[in-house]
Chains A and B, each alone.
Chain A
Amino acid sequence: MLHRVLRPRRTWSLVAPLGCLLLTASWSPHRARGAPCDELNAPVDRFAYLRQLTLDLLGRIPSEHEYEALVDEPDVPPDRIEAMLNSDEFYAFVRRFHLDLLWPAIDPGALVEPALALLLPAAFDVDDQGDPQRLFTLYIGLVRRGDLVPCADEPATFDENGQVVLHPWPDGTMRDGYVLVEPYWAPGTQVKVCALEAQAASASASGLACDTPDGLASGYCGCGPHLEHCLSLESAQAIASALREQVARMVWEPVSKGGDYFDFLVADHEPINGPLAHYYRHVIQFGIDPLIARAPVDVTAIPDDLTYDREDTWVNVPRLEAHMGVLAGLPYLLRFQTGRARANRFYTAFLCSPFQAPPGFELPSPADPCTQEPNLRKRCGCNACHAALEPAAAWWGGFVEAGALHLDADTFPPYDAACASCATSPFIPCSDFCRRFYFTDPGHPDEVPFAGWLKAWVWRVDPDNPGASTTELEHLEAGPQGLVAEALADGRLARCTVRKVWERLVGPLPDERREDVLAPLVAQFETTGHDFRALVRAVVTSDAYRTMERP
């Protein structure tokens, strides 16, 4: 019946733009609610206060019932605020606040080498005329079929030995057929998968284990039982989403328990759900570019019943020592892929110290010889930031760049003589291993002494006295947990956290006001043992939070 009232739609569409213009013209902070036009920085009424609180803390406006409960109250009762802070809905604030700080977003295609272990729909091949949903991998297509093509859209055939039969195809490639498989990501259903990709053998004919990158790269291994070693577009997305959620959950744990807020920076465990458990058990070894390779947790501690389909079940599992804390977990290391990027985000988000050249700093002329200095800590024009950034980046020097792998000393000794030899001889080719992890391409005489050292050790170790400790090597050995300990001890973490929470809930303060306004909150935050809820409570019950700024 209502539709009759709404006709004709054309009139609406003609007038709507005008309405929008009018609405936008009226949309100004000057026109905030609750106070006379000529009054600066006026307090908001209790209903607006409740709306602020509910939107900020719970991520939604109050319900009508919640508003009505305020009618006979002189103000928002403290126990209402307390209830918000103690409710599960407060997760909305904690989650969003920390997503904005930590940016935990990972391209699903980075979780595995896509060509090797990502099952693509046949529609990826634009020339394919068959069922667009049947699944294949690019690498097997290239190695076994002769091009980046899927199998034929027909049932597979097998020889007397059970091997997949490939037939010549008009375009010169070889094609197998498909089989139906119950995939791990959708139990109880069946999907069409090319027969070569669906192979479930544990080893190739040449003896390569099929749960290794070498085995899968041979082209003679499949994705294993229920396709467990490969990702689909769907499961890759689920794992990427789980890693994002993991960060928020790591923060939520100490916050919800009233513990020390900064525990999430050094936590010795991480929450995982079904998709993450599957990834750690069966797929992570195929994450080779970026280099992930190993789970950051003790995989044997993952409960057997935490299967892929349990997406909403989260279980804490112990992290390996090198990966303790949010700053050494997969979401952080994969989102920020260099030591400098990792340091930059942490210093900006948690220490309020972005790397910026001082005011008035001027770049030198490119002709200035000092611009040829290879050490960025000293190179004029770069040193304004890098003199501080390089020692900061050293905290993450124990992790590979473009990846999340921890460089354990047994596999990756700081110095490799073979890599040094190839780096300094034009007649010895460097292996992929050397080129990936060790410094092999000195481009300046001052860099030559670092040939054969792990890349993270360049400019940090004294090649003439390798046993001598340096500040940056101490950072590298301690890992990001060392940075956290240092920033906790000197109060930088607490000060910046208070400032970030204030800016989130109230707004930025001018430099000259920051200290006197925030110092009491910092003191209280320290006194309460970094109780995050207490900090938020203090801010939202402050005069400033209840006062609307009118520019």
Chain B
Amino acid sequence: MRWRSIAALCASALVTAGCAAEAPPDAGSPPSSPGGAGRNAHSGDDASSAPNMAVDTSAGLPAQSDGSATSTAAPTPARRVRRMTVDQWRRSLQVVTGGIGWTEDFGDGPVDMFEILGPSLGAPDYLLVTEENLEPSILIAKIEHDAALRVCAQWIEADRQRAPADRTFFHHADPASVDPNDVDATLRALLLRVLGLYVPGGDDARLVRYRALFEAASTGAPIGMEAFAGWYAVCVAMLSDPQFLLY
């Protein structure tokens, strides 16, 4: 049955990495958000609240009467998607897991795997490597998957041992629960915690794939282990999701 879990995992990653066919500009905007989450609305607010910062970075764009740029003007500059650096990756994994980094013990005590793999991952040492290559690569994807496999096992195991108030993975529901409502609550929390995706109540579309993954992984697991198997698959799917490293 394990192959089904992995297949679901990858399918899930594929889906979450893609752009949404009908994604709203801000799925998490509260109803009272004036004007939605449009770029101009947000930026204008921020700029007006920081008086000495206000800079019009859309300079050079001919404005129409409604203030928008004409279609013939050069496009507004935009930010390029980038990958986390190795440093950001290391620190972010610790934030996600509540302090559990990716360490391995090869016999001489735990070592930070990002220290070990840093050169292979392109982290600069400023002697031989002066610029970190942040292009996506098969190696990064492979290491991301390795990290997820190891970290998730430690995170879930550690979280299970913690008092409920101290939990970072299961703080919305009992770890052993497979009740759909509990699963949804934890999925929502994890999507926000790991990927920064806010899924408000009632918006179940983004949960469907993860629910399916949870169910596929938990089905057939040893009795009493169903929930843990499901959460492990979900955790690996999220931490090896390209969206985790891209921003």
Contact surface of A with B, Cβ cutoff 8 Å: 1-6, 8, 11-12, 15-24, 26-37, 40-43, 45-52, 55, 59-64, 67-68, 70-79, 81-82, 92, 96, 99-100, 103-105, 107, 244, 335, 505-507, 509, 512-513, 516-517, 519-521, 524, 528, 534, 537-539, 541-550
Known A-B contacts A1-B228, A2-B157, A64-B189; the reply to A103 vs B240 at CB < 8 A is no
Chain B residue at minimal CB-CB distance from A521: B55
Instruction: List residues of chain A with CB within 8 A of the CB of B55.
Output: 520-521, 524, 538, 542
Question: Is B87's CB under 8 angstroms from A55's CB?
Answer: no
Instruction: List residues of chain B with CB within 8 A of the CB of A512.
Output: 74
A27 to B246: give the CA distance in the assembly, Å. 9
Selected contact of B232 from candidates A5, A72, A104, A521, CB within 8 Å: A5
Instruction: List residues of chain B with CB within 8 A of the CB of A78.
Output: 45-46, 49-50
Instruction: List residues of chain A with CB within 8 A of the CB of B18.
Output: 26, 31, 37
Question: Is A103's CB under 8 angstroms from B130's CB?
Answer: yes
A429 to B209: give the CA distance in the assembly, Å. 82
Question: Is A2's CB under 8 angstroms from B153's CB?
Answer: yes
Chain B residue at minimal CB-CB distance from A78: B49
Question: Is B126's CB under 8 angstroms from A103's CB?
Answer: yes
Question: Is A517's CB under 8 angstroms from B145's CB?
Answer: no
Question: Is B76's CB under 8 angstroms from A546's CB?
Answer: no
Selected contact of A71 from candidates B52, B59, B198, CB within 8 Å: B198
Question: Is B78's CB under 8 angstroms from A544's CB?
Answer: yes
Instruction: List residues of chain A with CB within 8 A of the CB of B17.
Output: 23, 26-27, 31
Question: Is B193's CB under 8 angstroms from A67's CB?
Answer: yes
Q: Does B202 contact A (CB under 8 A)?
A: no
Q: Does B178 contact A (CB under 8 A)?
A: no
Question: Is A40's CB under 8 angstroms from B197's CB?
Answer: no
Q: Does B75 contact A (CB under 8 A)?
A: yes
Selected contact of B131 from candidates A26, A100, A534, CB within 8 Å: A100
A417 to B45: give the CA distance in the assembly, Å. 71
Known A-B contacts A26-B13, A59-B87; the reply to A35 vs B79 at CB < 8 A is no
Instruction: List residues of chain A with CB within 8 A of the CB of B22.
Output: 36
Q: Does B147 contact A (CB under 8 A)?
A: no
Known A-B contacts A30-B19, A59-B87, A60-B88; the reply to A20 vs B142 at CB < 8 A is yes
Known A-B contacts A60-B95, A505-B79; the reply to A104 vs B25 at CB < 8 A is no
Question: Is A35's CB under 8 angstroms from B23's CB?
Answer: yes
Chain B residue at minimal CB-CB distance from A49: B42
Q: Does B207 contact A (CB under 8 A)?
A: no
Interface residues of B in 60-93 (CB under 8 A from A): 60, 74-81, 84-85, 87-88, 91-92
Contact surface of B with A, Cβ cutoff 8 Å: 2-3, 6-7, 9-10, 13-14, 17-23, 25-30, 32-34, 37-43, 45-47, 49-50, 52-60, 74-81, 84-85, 87-88, 91-92, 94-96, 124-127, 130-132, 136-138, 141-142, 144-146, 149, 153, 156-157, 160, 168, 189, 192-193, 196-198, 200, 221-222, 225, 228-229, 232, 240-243, 246-247
Known A-B contacts A5-B222, A5-B229, A544-B77; the reply to A45 vs B29 at CB < 8 A is yes
Q: Which 10 residue pairs spanning A and B have beta carbons closest together? A: A516-B60, A105-B126, A43-B39, A45-B26, A78-B49, A549-B78, A507-B80, A542-B57, A544-B77, A547-B78
A545 to B43: give the CA distance in the assembly, Å. 9
| Besides A72-B30, A75-B46, 10 other A-B contacts (C-beta < 8 A) | A2-B156, A23-B14, A31-B242, A61-B95, A64-B168, A67-B196, A71-B198, A100-B124, A513-B60, A516-B60
Q: Tell me, rounded to whole Å, the shortest Cβ–Cβ distance linking A87 to chain B.
A: 14
Question: Is B30's CB under 8 angstroms from A43's CB?
Answer: no
Instruction: List residues of chain A with CB within 8 A of the CB of B45.
Output: 74-75, 78
Question: Is B25's CB under 8 angstroms from A34's CB?
Answer: yes
A51 to B145: give the CA distance in the assembly, Å. 21
Known A-B contacts A26-B18, A74-B30, A516-B60; the reply to A59 vs B3 at CB < 8 A is no
Question: Is A63's CB under 8 angstroms from B95's CB?
Answer: yes
Chain A residue at minimal CB-CB distance from B130: A103
A15 to B233: give the CA distance in the assembly, Å. 13
Instruction: List residues of chain A with CB within 8 A of the CB of B160.
Output: 2
Instruction: List residues of chain A with CB within 8 A of the CB of B19.
Output: 30-33, 35-37
Question: Is B247's CB under 8 angstroms from A542's CB?
Answer: no
Question: Is A19's CB under 8 angstroms from B240's CB?
Answer: yes
Question: Is B77's CB under 8 angstroms from A104's CB?
Answer: no
Selected contact of B59 from candidates A6, A20, A59, A517, CB within 8 Å: A517
Question: Is A543's CB under 8 angstroms from B27's CB?
Answer: no
Q: Tell me, rounded to whole Å, the shortest Cβ–Cβ distance linking B120 to chain A.
A: 15
Chain A residue at minimal CB-CB distance from B7: A15
A22 to B59: give the CA distance in the assembly, Å. 41
Q: Tell me, rounded to whole Å, the shortest Cβ–Cβ distance linking A410 to chain B.
A: 34
A228 to B6: give the CA distance in the assembly, Å. 58
Selected contact of A96 from candidates B34, B47, B85, CB within 8 Å: B85
A537 to B2: give the CA distance in the assembly, Å. 48
Instruction: List residues of chain A with CB within 8 A of the CB of B156.
Output: 2
Q: Tell me, rounded to whole Å, the shortest Cβ–Cβ distance linking A131 to chain B.
A: 19
Q: Tell me, rounded to whole Å, the shortest Cβ–Cβ distance linking A349 to chain B.
A: 10
A8 to B91: give the CA distance in the assembly, Å. 30
Instruction: List residues of chain B with CB within 8 A of the CB of A76.
Output: 42, 46
Instruction: List residues of chain B with CB within 8 A of the CB of A506.
Output: 77-80
Known A-B contacts A541-B50, A543-B76, A549-B79; the reply to A6 vs B153 at CB < 8 A is yes
Most buried by B among A40, A41, A72: A41
Q: Tell me, rounded to whole Å, the shortest Cβ–Cβ distance linking B236 to chain A.
A: 9
A184 to B190: give the CA distance in the assembly, Å. 49
Most buried by B among A6, A23, A335: A23
Q: Tell me, rounded to whole Å, the shortest Cβ–Cβ distance linking A107 to chain B.
A: 7
Known A-B contacts A75-B45, A96-B87; the reply to A549 vs B53 at CB < 8 A is no
A550 to B37: give the CA distance in the assembly, Å. 18
Question: Is A548's CB under 8 angstroms from B77's CB?
Answer: no
Most buried by A among B32, B47, B55, B197: B55
Q: Tell me, rounded to whole Å, the shortest Cβ–Cβ distance linking B145 to chain A.
A: 6
Known A-B contacts A4-B222, A60-B92; the reply to A517 vs B57 at CB < 8 A is yes
Chain B residue at minimal CB-CB distance from A35: B23
Question: Is B37's CB under 8 angstroms from A46's CB?
Answer: yes
Instruction: List residues of chain B with CB within 8 A of the CB of A72.
Output: 30
Known A-B contacts A19-B6, A61-B96; the reply to A543 vs B57 at CB < 8 A is yes
Instruction: List residues of chain A with CB within 8 A of the CB of B95.
Output: 60-63
Q: Tell me, rounded to whole Å, the shortest Cβ–Cβ distance linking A232 to chain B.
A: 20
Question: Is B60's CB under 8 angstroms from A36's CB?
Answer: no
Question: Is B79's CB under 8 angstroms from A46's CB?
Answer: no
Question: Is A71's CB under 8 angstroms from B145's CB?
Answer: no
Most buried by A among B49, B50, B96, B246: B50
Instruction: List residues of chain A with CB within 8 A of the CB of B37.
Output: 43, 45-46, 74-75
Question: Is B43's CB under 8 angstroms from A546's CB?
Answer: yes
Chain A residue at minimal CB-CB distance from B26: A45
Question: Is A59's CB under 8 angstroms from B91's CB?
Answer: yes
A55 to B85: give the CA distance in the assembly, Å. 10
Instruction: List residues of chain B with CB within 8 A of the CB of A26.
Output: 13-14, 17-18, 242
Most buried by B among A27, A48, A78: A27
Question: Is A537's CB under 8 angstroms from B77's CB?
Answer: no
Instruction: List residues of chain A with CB within 8 A of the CB of B141.
Output: 20-21, 23-24, 27
Question: Is A544's CB under 8 angstroms from B79's CB?
Answer: yes
Question: Is A60's CB under 8 angstroms from B91's CB?
Answer: yes
